[in-house]
Amino acid sequence: MSDEHHADEERTGGIQVISRAAKILNTLGEHPQGMSLGTIANDVQLPRSTVQRIVAALAEEGFVRSEGTAGVRLGPTLLRLVSTVHTDVIAIASPFLKQLSETTYETVALGRASGMQIANIYNVVAERELRVSPRVGLNLPIYGTSAGRALLALKSDQEIRTLVGETLEPMTRYTVRDIDSLLAKIAVVRQSGISNENGETVEGISTIAIALDTFLGLYTVSVLAPTTRMEANEAQLREALLHCRAQLTGEIGKLGGHKK
């Protein structure tokens, strides 16, 4: 009986350590600029000594790394795992994105947030003479793109203020330039579920986007088109984009055993 009790204590202790490590990794994921041990301890509400022991164990396996004054950041082992997940998402999403491109006859892109930027990780370029062809790996300010604002709409206004600051660097003459204007745009996104921008990234190009909140992470799907075509066909493009989101969320949800 004592052996069983000891085994139960070990299991409970192991689960607690895993839970605490997960909290620390989640907190570091929200602060890519790095965090001190004291700040981590405050955020996860654990003693600094406990955080220090767990961080040291995670560092040995490469899940975190300490960079002196920059503090603790996510490490290469975890980032490689994340990269694998992104590869899996692309494999899952690509048939649906190709279908969306064929339906709309426009370019479609899959994106994800990377700190203050939105990264283009995959796209399907439209098969037509006048088309938008974004570069895979392209990073753009999260506040000036429809995809970025679709993801920002999942955060609170205060979280957005903390992330992007009060003054925004414009990419074109149409780019939103201050936090209050950005928050007004995001309020509209929260109501409709769809984000749009007209010439804020590249003049003459417009995009609409939705956020994908899945168990594999947060992603975006965007439709990109010359502004004149976007204005003429926006209603149909929105309908096709929402249909694609329903299909993708269902497919990814089923893989995780919980369809959304």
Q: Report the alpha-carbon distance of residue 198 to residue 187 in Å, rounded.
A: 17
Q: Which residues contact 41 (CB under 8 A, 6 or more apart)?
A: 47, 48, 50, 51
Q: Report the alpha-carbon distance of residue 52 to residue 34 in Å, rounded.
A: 15
| pLDDT digit string, tens, across residues 51-74 | 999 999 998 888 888 877 768 888
The predicted pLDDT at position 116 comes to 85
Pairing of strands 107-114, 117-124: antiparallel
Query: How many CA atoms are closer than 13 Å to the CA of 132, on its beta-carbon side?
Result: 27
With 60 as the cut, is the pLDDT of residue 11 above it? no
Average of per-residue pLDDT across 93-109: 95
User: Which of helix, strand or coil describes residue 201?
Assistant: coil
The predicted pLDDT at position 160 comes to 94
The predicted pLDDT at position 115 comes to 78
Domain extents in the chain: 2-74, 79-255
The number of residues making up the chain comes to 260
Average of per-residue pLDDT across 151-180: 92
Average of per-residue pLDDT across 154-181: 92
CATH architecture classification, 79-255? 2-Layer Sandwich (3.30)
CATH architecture classification, 2-74? Orthogonal Bundle (1.10)
pTM for the predicted model, two decimal places: 0.66
Question: At how many degrees (to 10) do helices 48-60 and 2-29 cross?
Answer: 80
Token pair for 120 = 């283009």
